[in-house]
């Protein structure tokens, strides 16, 4: 039976439902209610979502979304939404659309005049920031880092001054080249790795890129990693620049900020 709120909606609704990033009980009551209420749940990883639904005794129709044939799936889902369906979009973990292919469906839904409702909850992005112990007044989120050092360097160069705290998602395969790139171009910049947050092996690792690499060699590899680079203090940055010679300033402009 649909909730009273759902019955009041005449057209289709796309719900963006955040799910746990690790610990299965980090799901909101509203998310559980929404997932029970919708006509279909669209998941980036149906197998993982099925386990979550089973744990919380949610009986629902589940279908896949991504990583291939996205345009075709968006078209089918929009057709259902136009006909009045209530659809919940979830990621494999955390908040949908953040570093996953959900944005195309959301953009298309808005373009079609379909109601989009956010059901907020867990996110590796916010969980890592609050645990890092670094300034979060200004953040630059780089999404999922590319696999090549050239691609990683390009992403890091989006903040050439080094003043902004940078956050990015890494996989076990991209972590090593990311740390190597940071060690080469910003060797003194402070790094925090938030590893496997909310899972039994949760760990926060801090230091420079080189020291973090040494620490990682002594612990069990992580599966889910959020990389955070500390931004420099604005006043200290200005003071250091004013004390440099013209030659030093020219040389530093060819490198990503090393503070």
**For residue range 76-93, what is the model confidence (pLDDT) as tens digits?**
999 999 999 999 999 989
Asked if the model's pLDDT at residue 217 lies above 80, the reply is yes
Give the other-Cβ count within 10 Å of 96's Cβ: 29
Task: Please check whether residue 126 is in contact with residue 151, taking contact to mean a CB–CB distance below 8 angstroms.
Answer: no
Handedness of CA 47, 53, 59, 63 (dihedral sign): negative
Run of H or E including 131: helix 124-132
Asked if the model's pLDDT at residue 103 lies above 70, the reply is yes
pLDDT the model gives residue 3? 45
Domain with CATH 3.30.950.10 in the chain: 125-252
Phi/psi for 212 (5° steps) reads: -65, -40
pLDDT tens per residue, range 198-212: 999 999 999 999 999
Task: Tell me the Ramachandran region of residue 94: left when phi exceeds 0, alpha when psi lies from -120 to 50, beta otherwise.
Answer: left
Which of 110-114, 152-156, 244-248, 255-259 is predicted most confidently?
Answer: 110-114
The Cα 165–Cα 182 span in angstroms is 14
Quick one: which of 177, 131, 137 has its CA closest to 156? 177
Q: Does domain 125-252 have CATH number 3.40.50.300?
A: no
Quote the pTM value: 0.81
pLDDT the model gives residue 67? 78
**Residue matched to tokens 């010679």:** 245
Q: What's the topology of domain 4-122? A: Cobalt-precorrin-4 Transmethylase; domain 1 (3.40.1010)
| Per-residue CA distances from 132 to 47, 123, 185, 197, 214 (Å) | 31, 14, 22, 11, 19
**Residue matched to tokens 């003043």:** 163
Query: Can you tell me the mean pLDDT for 229-253?
Result: 50
pLDDT the model gives residue 92? 87
Asked if the model's pLDDT at residue 196 lies above 90, the reply is yes
Domain with CATH 3.40.1010.10 in the chain: 4-122
Phi/psi for 31 (5° steps) reads: -65, -45
Q: Binning pLDDT at 50, 70 and 90, where does residue 256 land? A: very low
Run of H or E including 100: none
Give the other-Cβ count within 10 Å of 152's Cβ: 24
Query: Greater confidence, 134 or 49?
Result: 49
Q: Which residues of 161-189 are buried (b: 16+ CB within 10 A; e: fewer)?
A: ebbbbbbbbbeeebbebbbebbbebbeeb
């Amino acid at each position: 039976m649909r909730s009273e709120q759902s019955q009041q909606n005449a057209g289709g609704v796309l719900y963006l439902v955040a799910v746990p990033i690790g610990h299965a009980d980090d799901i909101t009551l509203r998310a559980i209610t929404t997932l029970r209420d919708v006509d279909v749940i669209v998941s980036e990883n149906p197998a993982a979502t099925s386990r979550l639904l089973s744990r919380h005794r949610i009986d629902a129709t589940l279908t896949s979304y991504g990583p291939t044939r996205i345009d075709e799936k968006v078209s089918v889902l929009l057709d259902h939404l136009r006909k009045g369906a209530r659809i919940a979009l979830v990621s494999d973990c955390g908040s949908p659309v953040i570093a996953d292919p959900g944005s195309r469906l959301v953009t298309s839904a808005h373009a079609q005049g379909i109601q989009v409702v956010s059901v907020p909850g867990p996110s590796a992005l916010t969980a890592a920031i609050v645990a890092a112990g670094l300034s979060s007044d200004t953040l630059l989120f780089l999404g999922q880092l590319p696999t090549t050092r050239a691609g990683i360097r390009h992403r890091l160069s989006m903040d050439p001054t080094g003043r902004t705290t940078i956050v990015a998602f890494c996989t076990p395969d991209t972590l090593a080249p990311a740390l190597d790139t940071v060690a080469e171009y910003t060797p003194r910049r402070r790094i925090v790795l938030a590893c496997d947050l909310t899972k039994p092996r949760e760990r926060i690792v801090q230091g420079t890129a080189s020291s973090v690499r040494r620490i990682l060699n002594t612990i069990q590899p992580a599966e889910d990693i959020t990389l955070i680079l500390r931004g420099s203090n604005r006043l200290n940055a200005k003071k250091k620049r004013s004390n440099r010679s013209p030659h030093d300033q020219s040389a530093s402009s060819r490198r990503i900020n090393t503070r």
